[in-house]
Amino acid sequence: MLIVDSQVHIWSTGLPTNPAHRQITSFTVDDLFREMDEAGVDAAVIHPPAWDPNSNRIALDPGKKTSYASIHIR
């Protein structure tokens, strides 16, 4: 069965405005891929977070590491 996480965030600066999010200043695509592997997740849909002004650019970064830009199947 293919497991897809339908809402993930990656960011490079700032703390999440929602205290329910992990309160760290960056969470990279490599961090995301590591956690996806650990959890057995096959794909994810990135939603750029509002608290990082670079979030749209960062959301495209996984496209450099996989063949997809916004929906990543590995």
Write out pLDDT tens, residues 8-49. Answer: 999 999 999 999 989 999 999 899 999 999 999 988 888 889
Write out pLDDT tens, residues 42-69. Answer: 888 888 899 999 988 888 776 666 655 4
The number of folded domains in the chain is 1
Q: What angle do CA 29, 63, 34 make, to 5 degrees?
A: 30
pLDDT recorded at residue 7 = 92
Residues in the chain: 74
Q: How confident is the model at residue 71 (pLDDT cuts 50, 70, 90)?
A: low
pLDDT recorded at residue 43 = 85
Domain residue limits at 34: 4-73
